């Protein structure tokens, strides 16, 4: 696989950086395009520390088509694009929908146009379990119909998938959309992980900051749901497992297809854990306290969501390997590493 070149947009972000590491370790050449709007340059150095290889980096905005074209001129032999680059804050997307449509959809359309111009025929797209909305049946499988998206973020994921389906039907571009459930954890080196800006919206980064003493306590959004302990259930997936699903997707696109096609896969573990189970596991495996209070339900939260992963197991040849213990311990190690680096900065 030595010379196969893969463009990773958003490659310095949370899932992107872990995927870059897995690709480099599998022997692929990697080019990263990132606008640094939700990522940091030091992640690039840390990718090199982990893998001993430094990917080519383009600091650019994918909504500017000319920049995308210039990158493809310099990197004319890209075989696959893994397109992570997108805004992802559900709450913000409710306040600023146009910002989300402009960034997430213009980027995708520009990437596809330029791929076509340069005869690049494979794309892996970051989708989300959010495309399903509140499920009628569990576990959720890929043939479940979309429900009306509750946020502009979710809407950009639904539209993104639809764009790829139509493009595959009318061109040589094959695509795989991966519907992520709830990505958590960090690389075992503790050199890369999630970098939430401001107050985290998601459970795991909030738990990490409470355990670290950066925030007083976690609010559990409701304990009167119809679940065994009353708190919501989600399918948490270790980010390293998630990254490996992208490597498998590249292999499938490069090896299996004769005709252009569009496929979708759920990327989860198939197991659901409640909010209380996450707190308990974090405390138990990391031997730290996570103070919490029970608050009101958060608007728009589904009671229970977990994936049917049989299709990804069968067709992608991929299965999550890491469990809850690895998720919470790697997350905590990364949080501690971040704090020690911050401490270093202040001392300097
Ligand atoms: N939760 C709390 N307290 C918090 C934060 C979250 O109790 O401070 C609870 C939520 O109510 C929910 C669970 O923890 O029950 C998980 O919430 P997250 O915000 O971590 O994740 P969501 O399942 O709401 O959303 C995630 C991604 C979205 C994606 C969606 C797909 O963040 O990007 O999964 O289902 F669209």
Tens-place pLDDT, residues 296-317: 999 889 999 999 999 999 999 9
- Per the CB < 8 A criterion, the answer to whether 6 and 82 are in contact is yes
Secondary structure class of 179 (helix, strand, coil): strand
| Band (134; pLDDT cuts 50, 70, 90) | confident
| Band (347; pLDDT cuts 50, 70, 90) | very low
- Counting ligand 1 atoms within 8 A of each CB, the residue from 234, 281, 293 with the most, and so the one to mutate, is 234
Task: State in Å: Cα 121 to ligand 1 middle.
Answer: 34
Ligand 1 proximity of 18 Cβ (cutoff 6 Å): no
Question: Residue whose CA is closest, atom 3 of ligand 1?
Answer: 220
List 266's β-bridge partners, or say none.
179
Ligand 1 proximity of 129 Cβ (cutoff 6 Å): yes
Task: State in Å: Cα 238 to ligand 1 middle.
Answer: 15
- Counting ligand 1 atoms within 8 A of each CB, the residue from 13, 104, 202 with the most, and so the one to mutate, is 202
Ligand 1 proximity of 90 Cβ (cutoff 6 Å): yes
Task: State in Å: Cα 314 to ligand 1 middle.
Answer: 28
The average pLDDT across 23-27 equals: 98
pLDDT confidence of residue 346: 39
pLDDT confidence of residue 260: 77
Question: Residue whose CA is closest, atom 11 of ligand 1?
Answer: 221
Task: State in Å: Cα 181 to ligand 1 middle.
Answer: 10
Ligand 1 proximity of 152 Cβ (cutoff 6 Å): no
Q: Render the burial of 277-314: b for 16+ CB within 10 Å, e for the rest.
A: bbbbbbeeebebebebeeeeeeeeebebbbbbbebbee
Ligand 1 proximity of 282 Cβ (cutoff 6 Å): no
106, pLDDT greater than 50: yes
Question: Residue whose CA is closest, atom 21 of ligand 1?
Answer: 202
Looking at residue 130, the DSSP 8-state letter turns out to be G
Per residue in 223-272, pLDDT tens?
999 999 999 999 999 999 999 999 999 999 999 766 779 999 999 999 99
Long-range contacts of residues 231-234, Cβ cutoff 8 Å, at least 24 apart:
231/274, 231/275, 231/276, 232/274, 232/275, 232/301, 232/302, 232/303, 232/304, 233/272, 233/273, 233/274, 233/303, 233/304, 233/305, 233/306, 234/181, 234/182, 234/203, 234/272, 234/273, 234/304, 234/305, 234/306
Q: What is the pTM of this model?
A: 0.96
Active-site annotation holds for 153? yes
Residue in 87, 153, 225, 236 annotated catalytic: 153
Calpha distance 175→207 (Å, rounded): 35
Ligand 1 proximity of 206 Cβ (cutoff 6 Å): yes
Q: Between residues 64 and 256, which one has the greater pLDDT?
A: 64
Task: State in Å: Cα 81 to ligand 1 middle.
Answer: 28
Place of tokens 């994918």: 62
- Structure tokens that stand for 114 in this block: 């330029």
Question: Residue whose CA is closest, atom 18 of ligand 1?
Answer: 202
Detail the DSSP E strand segments found in the chain. 5-9, 29-34, 56-59, 78-83, 122-128, 174-180, 182-184, 218-221, 233-234, 236-238, 262-267, 273-274, 292-295
| Band (342; pLDDT cuts 50, 70, 90) | low
Ligand 1 proximity of 203 Cβ (cutoff 6 Å): yes
Task: State in Å: Cα 40 to ligand 1 middle.
Answer: 24
Low-confidence winner among 128-137, 280-289, 295-304, 335-344 (lowest mean pLDDT):
335-344
Ligand 1 proximity of 276 Cβ (cutoff 6 Å): no
Task: State in Å: Cα 202 to ligand 1 middle.
Answer: 5
């Amino acid at each position: 696989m030595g010379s196969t070149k893969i463009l990773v947009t958003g490659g310095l972000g949370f899932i992107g950086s872990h995927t870059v590491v897995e690709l480099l370790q599998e022997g692929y050449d990697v080019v990263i395009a990132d606008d640094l709007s939700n990522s940091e340059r030091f992640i690039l150095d840390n990718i090199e520390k982990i893998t001993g290889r430094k990917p080519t980096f383009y600091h650019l905005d994918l909504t500017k088509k000319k920049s995308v074209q210039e990158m493809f001129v310099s990197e004319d032999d890209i075989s696959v694009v893994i397109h992570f680059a997108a805004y992802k804050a559900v709450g913000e997307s409710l306040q600023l929908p146009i910002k989300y449509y402009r960034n997430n959809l213009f980027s995708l359309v520009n990437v596809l146009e330029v791929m076509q111009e340069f005869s690049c025929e494979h794309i892996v797209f970051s989708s989300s379990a959010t495309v399903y909305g509140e499920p009628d049946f569990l576990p959720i499988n890929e043939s479940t119909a979309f429900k009306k998206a509750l946020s502009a973020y979710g809407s950009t994921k639904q539209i993104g998938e639809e764009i790829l389906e139509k493009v595959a039907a009318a061109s040589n571009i094959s695509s795989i959309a991966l519907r992520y459930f709830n990505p958590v954890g960090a690389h075992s080196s503790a050199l890369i992980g999630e970098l939430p800006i401001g107050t985290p919206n998601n459970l795991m980064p909030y738990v990490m900051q409470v355990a670290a003493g950066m925030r007083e306590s976690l609010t559990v959004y409701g304990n009167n749901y119809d679940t065994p302990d009353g708190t919501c259930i989600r399918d948490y997936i270790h980010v390293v497992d998630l990254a490996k699903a992208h490597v498998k997707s590249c292999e499938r696109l490069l090896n299996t297809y004769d005709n252009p096609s569009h496929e979708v896969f759920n990327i989860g573990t198939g197991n659901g854990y409640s909010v209380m189970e996450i707190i308990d596991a974090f405390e138990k495996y990391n031997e730290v306290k996570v103070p919490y209070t029970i608050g009101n339900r958060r608007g728009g939260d589904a009671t229970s969501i977990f994936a049917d992963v049989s299709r990804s197991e069968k067709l992608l040849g991929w299965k999550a390997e890491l469990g809850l213990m690895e998720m919470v311990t790697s997350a905590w190690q990364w949080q501690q590493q971040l704090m020690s680096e911050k401490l270093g900065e202040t001392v300097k």
